Amino acid sequence: MQGLELKLKERLQKLLDDGTVDCVIGWTKGEFIYDVTPAIFTKESGLDGFVYNSFCGANLSKYLVSQITSDKKFAVILKPCDTYSMNQLITEHRVNRENIYIIGVGCSGHIDIDKVKAQGVSGITNVIDNDNNIIINSIYGDSKIEKASVLLSKCQSCKGSELKISDEIIGEGIKTPTCDERFDGVKKLEAMTAEERFAFWKSELSKCIRCNACRNICPACTCRTCVFDNARSNVAAKANATEFEEKMFHIIRAFHVAGRCTDCGECSRVCPQSIPLHLLNRKFIKDINEFYGDYQAGEESNQRNPLVNFTESDIEATVISDKEGK
């Protein structure tokens, strides 16, 4: 990992120096090693504080959306899974590809600090992540942890090591060994009775505080003004006044990104209430795959989203209302 950080830094400096780009979207270090924040570096500010380590799991593609009208050129560091979002943003004209220089980084999975801490490790000073096991240096000594057990949830259903779009590639990665099948969570819910499903979502969604973290991180949720913020939309609300509004917000949010969601998992990652929001998006993905054939949003740019597409022989909508079973 440390080697990769150096390589990146060196290359980015060069890109800034030779004028290929004006800015870099990367991470800046915080107080602790796991305390990293997405940041924009400019030629003027230089790459001081630039960091790339096992905790740089966030998807940076969304930060380009607000730069669409900028005439500056940006370098962005994207992991394989982030490139799907980039493709989707290009498809929807939400970023200006001409002004973007994509550095694809090889990836072998990123670490969820909460999962590390949950294993009883504290006072972390450094992490050495070169193997299936990671070594954690802390003020109380070193410990060795199986990497798979502390991966980010989204890495546990890794889409693979292939970069779907990039201008250059730095470092090699491997597909992280997946811990669970992508749709296991959805299937588990589907196997429940309607009453159980209802109770599950009622208890999960009632935790929602409408902080909009899911919406803000989501690389598919890029509306200038969200319908839920638009006073004239008849559905605007700043907080959930009723159980209905909790459901409404999340159903509509999932519906609006259906066919566009790349399943990056950021929504669940950032949710302060730990609501498994990805289970909503994955339900749509699973249905789309089952009803209309396998589809991966962002697999390439300029794909046609299945919700703005059809075939004459599509499955009838009554497939749901006439469905047998629980």
Partner 1 sequence: MLKIGVFVCWCGSNIAATVDVKQVVEAVKLQQGVVFATDYQYMCSEAGQLIMRNAIEEYKLDGVVICSCSPRMHEATFRKNAERAGLNPFMVEIANIREHCSWIHKDVEEGTIKAIALANAAIAKVKLNAPLISGESGVTKRALVIGGGIAGIQTALDIAEAGFQVDIVEKSPTIGGNMAKLDKTFPTLDCSACILTPKMVDAAANPNIELLTYSEVEKVSGFVGNFKATIRKKARYINTDLCTGCGDCMSKCPSKKGKNEFNCGLNNRPAIYIPFAQAIPNVAVIDPVQCIKITKDKCGLCQTVCSAKAIDYKQQDEIIEREYGAIVAATGYKPIKLDKFDEYGYSQSKDVITSLELERLMNAAGPTGGKLVKPSDGSHPHTITFIQCVGSRDISGRGKCYCSKICCMYTAKHAMLIRDKYPDVNVNVFYIDVRTPGKNYDEFYRRAVEEYNVNYIKGQVGKVYESDGHLVLQASDLLNNEQILVNSDMVVLATAIEADESAKKVASMLTASIDTNNFLTEAHAKLRPVESPTAGIFLSGVCQGPKDIPETVSQASACAAKVIGLLSKAKLVTNPCVAHSDELLCNGCSNCANVCPYGAIGYETKLINDHGIRENRRVAVVNPALCQGCGACTVACPSGAMDLFGFSNSQIMAEVEAICKK
Partner 2 sequence: MQEVKDFKPTIVAFCCNWCSYAGADLAGSSRLSYPADVKIIRVPCSGRVNPMFILKAFERGADGVIICGCHPGDCHYSTGNYYTRRRLALLYSMLDYMGIERGRTRVEWVSAAEGVKFSTVMNKFVEDIRALGECVKLGDIRCKD
| 239 secondary structure, DSSP code | S
Q: Quick one: what does residue 249 bind among partner 1, partner 2, none, with the CB cut-off 5 to 8 Å set by partner type?
A: none
Nearest one of 179, 178, 160 to 83, comparing CA atoms: 160
Alpha-carbon distance of 175 to 157, in angstroms, equals 10
Least gap, CB of 95 to partner 1 (angstroms): 11
Residue among 59 and 268 whose Cβ is closer to partner 2? 268
Closest CA to 222 of 61, 57, 25: 61
In whole angstroms, give the CA distance from residue 40 to residue 93: 22
* x-or-dash string of contact with partner 1, 76-115, rule CB under 8 A: ---------------xxxx---------------------
- For partner 1, the closer CB: 98 or 324: 98
* Residue 110 interface partner, choices partner 1, partner 2, none, CB cut-off 5-8 Å depending on type: none
Q: Which of residues 250-269 bind partner 1 (CB under 8 A)?
A: 256-257
- Over the window 33 to 62, marking each residue x when it contacts partner 1 by CB under 8 A and - when it does not, the resulting string is ------------------------------
Closest CA to 49 of 83, 66, 26: 26
Options 180-188, 190-198, 222-230, 286-294: segment touching partner 1 (CB under 8 A): 222-230
Distance (Å, rounded) from C-alpha 49 to C-alpha 36? 10
Cβ atoms 154, 81 nearer than 8 A: yes
One residue of 230, 251, 290, 315 binding partner 1 per CB under 8 A:
230
CA 132, 136, 142 angle in degrees (round to 5)?
120
Q: What does each C-alpha distance from 176 to 152, 214, 251, 301 come to in angstroms?
A: 11, 24, 31, 24
- Distance, in Å, from the CA atom of 192 to the CA atom of 181, rounded to the nearest integer, reads 18
Nearest approach, Cβ of residue 58 and partner 1 (Å) = 22
- Using CA atoms, how far residue 212 sits from 218, 221, 249, 250, in Å, is 10, 11, 10, 11
Residues making contact with partner 2 (CB under 8 A)? 186, 189-190, 194-202, 227, 233-235, 242-245, 247-248, 251-252, 254-255, 258, 280, 283-284, 287-288, 291-292, 306-312, 314-321, 323
- Which region among 10-18, 45-53, 179-187, 217-225 touches partner 1 (by CB under 8 A)? 217-225
Which residues have C-beta within 8 Å of that of residue 187, sequence separation ≥ 6? none
Report the alpha-carbon distance of residue 115 to residue 143 in Å, rounded.
14
What is the x/- site pattern for partner 1, positions 113-152, by CB under 8 A?
----------------------------------------
Is 233 near partner 1 (CB under 8 A)? yes
The interface partner of residue 291, options being partner 2, partner 1, none and the CB cut-off 5 to 8 Å by kind, is partner 2
Nearer Cβ to partner 2 (98/312): 312
Give the Cα separation of 66 and 303 in Å (integer). 23
Contact status: 309 vs partner 1 (CB under 8 A): yes
> Considering CB distances under 5 to 8 angstroms, the limit depending on partner class, which of partner 2, partner 1, none binds residue 93?
partner 1
User: By the criterion CB under 8 A, which residues form the site for partner 1?
Assistant: 69, 91-94, 222-227, 230, 232-234, 256-257, 304-305, 307-309
